[in-house]
């Protein structure tokens, strides 16, 4: 059973436990969070509909990319930008506060059918996402505006993470 909770803010957001309305995306996130015999499971998720931003909090998934091993007790989370088709990992451990893994491209077949990529120019940046240089091009004011938008969305996601998990 899914329990929904809406939060009032400048952003439309939904918090729920269990599976999200995006089964292909859920399956992908659970697959990347499964290490060895540990099968990661989605514990809860936040969806910021105005930004197409999904934050998954995992259970049975403690492998942290920053330290290269599992935390003893704290689990990880994945932040997924559905509109731009990329994701990164964060964890709940206080020693990793502020860390996020490099941005990685989402496979296009896991994106929900009703979402259109935010900017088709972003398709050109996928190689930059993989090599960690996404958003480093200062020559284009539009790119700067997009990164400010992204920074605001991530900051809000961080605020929500801290309220629920901190």
2, 155 contact by CB (below 8 A): no
- Per-residue confidence in pLDDT tens, the chain, 166 aa: 333 333 334 445 676 777 888 999 999 999 998 876 778 889 889 888 888 889 998 888 877 888 887 788 888 889 999 988 999 999 888 888 888 999 999 998 999 877 655 444 444 443 344 444 444 444 445 455 545 555 666 666 666 555 544 4
**Where are the chain's structural domains?**
4-165
List Cβ<8 Å contacts ≥24 apart for 143-151.
Answer: 146/118, 146/119, 149/51, 150/81, 150/84
pLDDT of 88: 95
Kindly write down the DSSP assignment for every residue of 77-131, as one continuous string: EEEEETTTTEEEEEES-GGGTT--PPPEEPPGGGS-TT---S-GGGGGGHHHHHH
Residue 108 is encoded by which pair of tokens? 């296009």
Q: Minimal CA–CA distance to 52: which of 100, 112, 4?
A: 112
Greatest alpha-carbon span in the chain: 49
């Amino acid at each position: 059973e899914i329990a929904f909770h809406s939060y009032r803010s400048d952003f439309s957001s939904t918090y729920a436990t269990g599976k999200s309305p995006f089964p292909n995306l859920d399956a992908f996130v659970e697959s990347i969070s499964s290490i060895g015999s540990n099968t990661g499971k989605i514990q809860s998720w936040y969806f910021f509909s105005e930004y197409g931003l999904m934050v998954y909090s995992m259970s049975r998934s403690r492998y942290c990319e920053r330290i290269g091993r599992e935390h003893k007790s704290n689990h990880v989370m994945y932040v997924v930008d559905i509109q731009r088709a990329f994701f990164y990992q964060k964890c709940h451990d206080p020693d990793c506060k502020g860390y996020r893994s490099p941005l990685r491209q989402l496979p296009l077949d896991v994106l929900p059918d009703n979402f259109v990529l935010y900017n088709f120019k972003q398709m050109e940046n996928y190689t930059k996402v993989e090599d960690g240089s996404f958003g480093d091009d200062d020559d284009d004011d539009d790119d700067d505006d997009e990164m400010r938008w992204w920074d605001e969305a991530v900051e809000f996601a961080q605020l929500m993470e801290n309220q629920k998990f901190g």
